Amino acid sequence: MNQQLITTDSSENIVPICLVSDVEPGEVIQAELSDGHQLAVYNLEGVIYVTDDKCTHGDASLSEDGMVEGDEVECTWHFGRFDIRTGKACAMPCTVPLKTWVVRVKGDQVYVEDDR
Ligand code: FES
């Protein structure tokens, strides 16, 4: 059960990105904002998390080249790791954290707060 409830959907910077049902537990999918910015959407035991999709070490897509292991995603290009919940770089060669996005869920719809 998702604990992230949307309190308002009238704010212009809260944007829909995908459905909860699109992301199986333990999986990651790619979503895209209207300007083409790519996001990685994770389901960790029913809780949705969103980070930037692009690895901070190189051009790998974490939704395509990443492996979710527990609360971390491993980039299979060079085996760097990030904490999905915080974006913290957990294993070399990754040192720069991933941007994480504030997630809101209403029903089956997943939104992010676009704070850029
Ligand atoms: Fe991701 Fe190098 S591109 S670890």
Residue 6 has pLDDT above 80, yes or no: no
Domain tally, the chain = 1
Does the predicted TM-score (pTM) go above 0.85? yes
Cβ atoms within 10 A of the Cβ of 71, count?
15
Q: The domain spanning residue 17 has which CATH number? A: 2.102.10.10
**Which structural domain, as residue segments, surrounds residue 92?**
3-113
- The 10s digit of each residue's pLDDT in 10-66 is 567 999 999 999 999 999 999 999 999 999 999 999 999 999 999 999 999 999 999
The minimum-distance atom of ligand 1 relative to the CA of 56 is: 1
Question: Over the range 9-19, which residues count as b (16 or more CB within 10 Å of their CB) and which as e?
Answer: eeeeebbebbb
Structure tokens that stand for 63 in this block? 């939704």
DSSP 70-82: TTEEEETTT--EE
Between the CA of 21 and the centroid of ligand 1 the distance, in Å, is 28
The minimum-distance atom of ligand 1 relative to the CA of 79 is: 4
pLDDT confidence bin for 76, thresholds 50/70/90: very high
Q: Three-state DSSP class for 84? A: coil
State residue 37's pLDDT score. 97
Max CA distance (Å), the chain = 41
State residue 4's pLDDT score. 54
Residue 97 has pLDDT above 70, yes or no: yes
